[in-house]
Structure formats: structure tokens, C-alpha cells
């Protein structure tokens, strides 16, 4: 399955809007109940968005949608076009997700069929050997469950392929499928459902309009605060027609109020506004009546990756992050003074409620481990908070050292989630994607360079080459390998690895049993034989071939796991 990467050229800031100045009157035609003009505008826009999505499915062109949208919903042409663009984005994403969902379902079906075949063979063997009834019943239950799973996946795959052939997409639920299911089960109210379907207003940026014409952000230098102006287009009235017969509208009134932005982003936003940079704005009204604003700026270029001063390498794990400080030659160097005090400032005191909840462990020669055991099992919002804290720590360390970041490009797709309960839970609970994307986004905002490298064999190389040499955990050793790989350095066969092979040979000569041989397994001897063949050729290969899937590290990994 192709990997989904965040658009790192986008800089998004989340703030809160406090509307103060409203138009003096409401529209008799478009207003409903006690809603204010801003709520009316958001409801009309959300309705226009759903209507535009249906018209796109029917094949309506852009100019027809714009003309009919203004007539049906009373919005200006730009708001209608923005609703059409949002609907088109939903449609495009559904088509893109359809291909990925087909590929994932196909792989899961293949794995499920293999599991069913394995269970059927076990059942047949047990029946042939005359096993007891309890054991047979257990095997029959397993076969029945896996048959149902295969049937369910086959049905889903047929439906997805039918959508692909017909050029359609699965049904889209505006407001959220999860919330709709809660409403059907009585766990959410219809008021919440209706609020989720009419709670947003979006306007895209435009360079020629000096930012955004419909939702405009300004800065008051006297009050030293940001302000937001929202155009209420449905209150605009027709005052005539132009030469082409298009209606001429009066200037629409605006809703104005203070805009709160996080202190850490205020200077950057002010800089972008001073350059008249275009920005998209989206306002979302929550159930408690608060207006959340998302401002999205398009950055001109990403920070450059320059490893001449060295780099900070990061190894991602389910319980924290391993960091390594590398110099320009690819060797570890001690942390500069003040890193320990910096991390104490970054991590809030709320993470020290009990012993072991959070730990920063420093190791000699430039290694440290940020251990957060709660990361693997915390709830969604708590996990996002912990990821934000870890992200801030990593980027602040890189800024303090004046070095770019090197990270591993991990991938655990949904097609892997048929490996059994324990591995499925491990892959599902490992927030590698959120953590990686959060680090990359913050690095771009803070103008810290970064590079993603393949994670293949990094833990094996770190275990065999660097763990004992530097007396560090395997995660910090893997971070060192990641950093060296980002710098394009080779990982050659060294004395430590040859001594490891020699110890295995001594056990072989002495006649002591190898792991697994008492069960009739000879894969350890086979792995040793294949590793010896590739060992002498490895140092002459290029870095890409050294890190390939079938390199000598794959055989050494099996041997290391057998003798650990």
C-alpha cells in the first residue's frame, strides 16, 4: 500500500474566534430561529457543500454549480466555489482511498485464506489421529470463525471492486459515520448530529486578494492583537446587473471579533501576513458555542537538510524515543551543556505524578532515551498530548545543537493486522505515524532540516556493532545506525560481528545443541552457512545493497535472536 505523507509545505495554526460586532439585522429569507448571522452563513455553506457533492457525482460542471449554488443558498460566488472545492476534495480522497482499501483488503483476504487453510489442515490431522472431542470442537470453532472472516472479506472486496468498475465511491456520511452510528444506537442526540452537519465555514486563500477575501485576518498594532472579519454574504442584496446580465450585489456586512492565536506562532503568522501571503481559513463551531479557527499558509520552501555540522538521529519505539548526537564524521559526540536543563523546561511537571511515568535517561558519549511507557496504551487524547510533548523535546534538542534530524520511515499498514491478537495489538497501538508526522510538522515550523531513511536492519546492526561498544540500549544503538545511514555511510562487518560468528562455530564444534534443534529444526545451521557466504562480500557493496532485504544482516538477525 502506498504511504500517505503529510503535506509539509503547509503551515497550519489553530486559534479561537470571539465574534463581537454583528450586522444589525437578520435575513428574513435565510435565517432560522434564534441563530445569529454567522451561524446562518455556516449552515448555508454546509448545505451547499453537501449539495455540491451530489451534483459532482451527477457530473455537473463548475459554472453550473456556481450559478445554481448562489441562487439556492444565497452565498456569494466565492463561497459557493469554495464549497465545490471542498466537495471535490472529499470525492478525490474517496477515490484515492478506494484503491488503497482494495489493496489492503486483497492482502488481508490472502492472509485470512492461509490461516483458514492452516486451521483446516489441523482439524483434518486431529480427526485422522482420533483426537478427543473437546479438541476437535475447538478446531471446528476456529475453522468456522475463519470461514466467516474469509466470506466477509470476499464480500467487501467485491463491493469495492464494483465501485471501482462503475466509477463510484462508497457512501459518504457528512457529519461523521462514527457519530451517526452513535445516534442510531442512542448514544448521541440528534441535536449533536445536526450541529455536526452545519458547523463550518471555509474560504480559500488568494494571492491577488492579499490573503483571503471572505475570512480576513488583521493585526491591530495599537492593541497588539489579531482580529478576524467574516463576510456574511447571504445579507448582500442585488442592486442591478452588469453588461453580461450577471447580478450586481451590494457590499456584504461582516462579523468582526478578536482572534486568539498561540504565543509560539504569533510572530510567524504576523510575518506571513505582512508579506500578503495567501491563507485558507476554516471556522468550526463546537457544541459549547466556541468558534475554532484553522489558518493554513503555504510555505515557499522546506528547510534544507545539511549534515555538515552533524545531526540528531531518532529511533521510534512503542515506549519512547532513542536519540543519538552525531558529529560530521558519523560518530557520537557528547551533548552540549544545557541540554538536561532544556529538557526539564520542555517536559511539564504533570508528567511526574508517579515514578516511572516519564524518564529522561542520559548515556555517555551523546545518547539519551526519552521513556514514556504510557505512550503504548494511553487513550486517544492523552496519547496526542504525550506525542506533542515528545515532539517538542526532539525539535528543541535539534535547535539547541544546531543540527538537522534523521528519522526512520516506518510503515505498518492495515494489511498486516491478521497476525494474531498480540501482534495486531502491538501494530495498532504503536502510534508511529502520528509521532513521525508530528515531528516532521514541528521541524518544518521551527525551520529544522530533516531526512527520512529506511529502518531496515537498524536494530540488528545496532545490537551487533554498537550496543556493547558504547554500553547503551539497543534503541540508542539503532538511532546511531539511522544517523549514519542518513549521512550515506557504510555499515561494514567489524570485529564484534566476526567474534559473534566465531562463538556460534565453537558451540557447533563442541557438540552442544543449537537453539531449535531439539525440535527437529535446522534453520540455525542454515542461517549460519548463508551468513558466512555473504560475510566476505558485504564490505565491498554500496550502502543501498548493504541495507537491502536479503543482505547478510537478515541472516545475522536470526542468529542473534536465537542466541540472545
- Report pLDDT digits (tens) over 389-427: 899 999 999 999 999 999 988 765 544 445 556 556 655
For Cα atoms 167, 204, 245, give the angle at the middle one, nearest 5 degrees.
Answer: 85
Report DSSP state, residue 334.
Answer: P
Alpha-carbon span 369 to 313, nearest angstrom? 12
CA 472 to chain CA centroid, Å, is 30
Q: What are the φ and ψ backbone dihedral angles of 559, each rounded to 5 degrees?
A: -70, -40
Burial of 155: CB neighbours in 10 Å, binned 0-12, 13-18, 19+? exposed
The residue among 453, 472, 489 that closes a domain is 489
- Nine cell digits for residue 20: 463581537
- Reading phi first (left if > 0) and then psi (alpha if -120 to 50, else beta), residue 138 is in alpha
Task: Report the run of H or E that residue 296 belongs to, with start and end.
Answer: strand 291-298
Give yes or no: residues 522 and 484 share one domain.
no
Res 281 pLDDT > 50:
yes
Q: How many CA atoms lie within 13 A of 401 on its CB side?
A: 31
Q: What is the pLDDT of residue 5?
A: 52
Q: Could you read off the pLDDT of 357-385 as tens digits, one per residue? A: 678 889 988 999 998 888 777 777 888 88
Q: What is the pLDDT of residue 415?
A: 46
Give yes or no: residues 385 and 524 share one domain.
no
Task: Tell me if 475 sits within 8 A of 322, measured CB to CB.
Answer: yes
Alpha-carbon span 290 to 487, nearest angstrom? 48
Give yes or no: residues 469 and 522 share one domain.
no
Alpha-carbon span 358 to 379, nearest angstrom? 16
**Mean of the per-residue pLDDT values for the chain?**
85
Higher-scoring residue by pLDDT: 55, 304: 55
The residue among 440, 457, 489 that closes a domain is 489
Residues whose CB is less than 8 angstroms from the CB of residue 502 and which lie 6 or more positions away in sequence, other chains included: none
The answer as to whether 272 is a domain residue is no
3-state SS class at 520: coil
Q: Could you read off the pLDDT of 216-248 as tens digits, one per residue? A: 999 988 888 999 999 999 988 877 777 776 667
Give yes or no: residues 471 and 528 share one domain.
no
Q: Could you read off the pLDDT of 452-489 as tens digits, one per residue? A: 998 888 988 898 889 888 999 999 999 999 999 999 89
Find, among 109, 97, 95, 60, the residue nearest to 80 by Cα: 60
The answer as to whether 434 is a domain residue is yes
Give yes or no: residues 334 and 436 share one domain.
yes
Largest CA-CA distance found in the chain, in angstroms, rounded = 101
The answer as to whether 43 is a domain residue is no
Alpha-carbon span 481 to 466, nearest angstrom? 9
Residue given cell 534523521 in the structure block: 406
Alpha-carbon span 504 to 461, nearest angstrom? 18
Res 431 pLDDT > 60:
yes
Alpha-carbon span 440 to 410, nearest angstrom? 13
The number of beta carbons lying within 10 Å of the beta carbon of residue 505 is 11
- Nine cell digits for residue 297: 499558509
- Nine cell digits for residue 101: 482499501
Give yes or no: residues 463 and 521 share one domain.
no
Give yes or no: residues 480 and 505 share one domain.
no
CA dihedral 219, 224, 228, 229 (to 10 degrees): -70
Q: What is the pLDDT of residue 332?
A: 93
The number of beta carbons lying within 10 Å of the beta carbon of residue 531 is 22
3-state SS class at 55: helix
Task: Tell me if 491 sits within 8 A of 458, measured CB to CB.
Answer: no
Give yes or no: residues 321 and 392 share one domain.
yes
pTM given for the model: 0.68
Task: Lay out the sheet containing 450-453: strands in order across.
Answer: 359-363, 367-371, 320-326, 311-317, 405-408, 450-453
pLDDT range class, residue 437, cuts 50, 70, 90: confident
Burial of 524: CB neighbours in 10 Å, binned 0-12, 13-18, 19+? buried
Instruction: Give me the CATH number covering residue 357.
Output: 3.30.420.140
- Nine cell digits for residue 357: 511515568
3-state SS class at 350: helix
The answer as to whether 176 is a domain residue is no
Alpha-carbon span 42 to 15, nearest angstrom? 18
The answer as to whether 102 is a domain residue is no
The answer as to whether 136 is a domain residue is no
Q: What is the pLDDT of residue 456?
A: 87
Res 264 pLDDT > 60:
yes
Give yes or no: residues 326 and 410 share one domain.
yes
The residue among 446, 468, 489 that closes a domain is 489
3-state SS class at 407: strand
Look at the alpha carbons of 328, 329, 334, 339 in this order and tell me if their dihedral is positive or negative.
positive
For 125-237, list the strands marked E by DSSP: 200-203, 215-220, 225-231
The answer as to whether 549 is a domain residue is yes
Q: What is the pLDDT of residue 4?
A: 46
Q: What is the pLDDT of residue 184?
A: 92
Task: Tell me if 333 sits within 8 A of 327, measured CB to CB.
Answer: yes
Give yes or no: residues 327 and 366 share one domain.
yes
3-state SS class at 372: coil
The answer as to whether 228 is a domain residue is no
3-state SS class at 47: helix
Give yes or no: residues 466 and 516 share one domain.
no
Q: What's the domain range around 558?
A: 495-563
Share of the chain above pLDDT 70, in %: 89
- Nine cell digits for residue 236: 448582500
Q: How many CA atoms lie within 13 A of 551 on its CB side?
A: 22
The number of distinct structural domains making up the chain is 2
- Nine cell digits for residue 196: 455536526
Look at the alpha carbons of 437, 440, 445, 446 in this order and tell me if their dihedral is positive or negative.
positive
Task: Tell me if 374 sits within 8 A of 357, measured CB to CB.
Answer: yes
Give yes or no: residues 475 and 540 share one domain.
no
Amino acid at each position: 500500500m502506498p504511504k500517505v505523507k503529510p503535506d509539509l509545505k503547509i503551515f497550519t495554526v489553530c486559534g479561537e474566534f470571539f465574534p463581537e460586532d454583528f450586522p444589525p439585522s437578520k435575513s428574513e429569507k435565510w435565517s432560522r430561529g434564534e441563530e445569529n448571522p454567522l451561524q446562518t452563513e455556516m449552515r448555508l455553506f454546509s448545505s451547499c457543500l453537501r449539495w455540491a457533492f451530489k451534483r459532482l457525482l451527477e457530473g455537473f460542471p463548475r459554472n453550473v454549480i456556481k450559478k445554481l449554488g448562489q441562487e439556492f443558498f444565497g452565498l456569494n460566488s466565492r463561497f459557493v466555489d469554495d464549497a465545490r472545492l471542498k466537495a471535490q476534495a472529499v470525492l478525490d480522497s474517496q477515490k484515492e482511498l478506494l484503491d488503497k482499501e482494495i489493496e489492503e483488503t486483497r492482502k488481508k483476504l490472502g492472509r485470512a485464506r492461509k490461516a483458514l487453510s492452516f486451521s483446516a489442515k489441523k482439524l483434518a490431522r486431529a480427526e485422522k489421529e482420533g483426537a478427543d472431542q473437546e479438541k476437535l470442537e475447538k478446531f471446528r470453532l476456529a475453522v468456522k470463525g475463519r470461514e466467516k472472516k474469509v466470506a466477509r472479506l470476499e464480500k467487501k472486496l467485491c463491493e469495492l471492486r464494483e465501485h471501482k468498475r462503475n466509477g463510484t465511491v462508497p457512501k459518504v456520511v457528512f457529519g461523521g459515520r462514527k457519530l451517526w452510528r452513535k445516534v442510531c444506537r442512542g448514544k448521541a442526540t440528534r441535536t449533536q448530529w445536526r450541529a455536526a452537519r452545519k458547523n463550518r465555514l471555509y474560504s480559500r486563500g488568494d494571492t491577488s486578494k492579499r490573503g483571503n477575501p471572505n475570512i480576513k485576518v488583521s493585526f491591530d498594532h495599537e492593541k497588539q492583537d489579531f482580529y478576524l472579519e467574516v463576510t456574511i454574504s447571504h445579507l448582500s442584496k442585488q442592486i442591478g446587473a452588469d453588461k453580461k446580465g450577471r447580478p450586481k450585489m451590494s457590499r456584504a456586512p461582516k462579523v468582526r471579533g478578536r482572534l486568539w492565536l498561540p504565543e509560539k506562532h504569533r510572530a510567524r503568522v504576523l510575518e506571513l501576513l505582512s508579506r500578503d501571503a495567501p491563507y485558507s481559513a476554516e471556522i468550526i463551531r463546537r457544541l459549547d458555542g466556541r468558534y475554532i479557527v484553522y489558518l493554513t499558509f503555504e510555505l515557499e520552501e522546506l528547510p534544507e537538510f545539511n549534515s555538515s555540522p552533524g545531526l540528531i538521529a531518532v529511533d521510534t519505539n512503542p515506549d519512547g524515543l532513542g536519540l543519538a548526537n552525531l558529529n560530521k564524521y558519523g560518530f557520537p559526540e557528547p551533548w552540549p551543556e544545557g541540554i538536561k536543563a532544556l529538557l526539564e523546561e520542555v517536559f511539564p511537571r504533570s508528567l511526574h505524578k508517579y515514578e516511572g511515568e516519564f524518564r529522561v535517561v542520559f548515556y555517555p558519549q551523546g545518547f539519551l532515551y526519552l521513556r514514556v511507557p504510557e505512550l503504548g496504551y494511553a487513550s486517544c487524547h492523552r496519547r496526542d498530548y504525550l506525542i506533542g510533548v515528545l515532539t517538542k523535546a526532539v525539535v528543541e534538542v535539534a535547535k539547541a545543537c544546531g543540527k538537522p534530524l534523521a528519522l526512520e520511515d516506518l510503515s505498518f499498514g492495515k494489511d498486516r493486522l491478521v497476525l494474531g491478537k498480540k501482534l495486531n495489538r502491538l501494530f495498532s497501538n504503536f502510534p508511529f505515524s502520528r509521532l513521525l508526522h508530528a515531528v516532521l510538522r514541528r521541524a518544518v515550523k521551527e525551520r529544522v532540516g530533516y531526512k527520512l531513511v529506511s529502518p531496515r536492519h537498524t536494530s540488528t546492526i545496532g545490537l551487533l556493532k554498537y550496543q556493547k561498544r558504547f554500553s547503551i540500549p539497543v534503541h540508542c544503538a539503532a538511532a546511531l545506525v539511522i544517523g549514519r545511514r542518513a549521512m550515506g555511510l557504510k555499515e561494514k562487518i567489524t570485529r564484534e560481528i566476526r567474534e559473534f560468528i566465531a562463538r556460534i562455530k565453537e558451540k557447533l564444534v563442541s557438540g552442544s545443541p543449537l537453539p531449535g534443534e531439539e525440535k527437529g529444526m535446522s534453520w540455525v545451521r542454515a542461517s549460519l552457512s548463508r551468513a558466512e557466504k555473504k560475510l566476505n562480500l558485504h564490505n565491498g557493496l554500496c550502502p543501498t545493497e548493504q541495507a537491502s532485504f536479503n543482505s547478510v544482516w537478515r541472516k545475522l538477525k536470526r542468529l542473534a535472536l536465537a542466541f540472545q
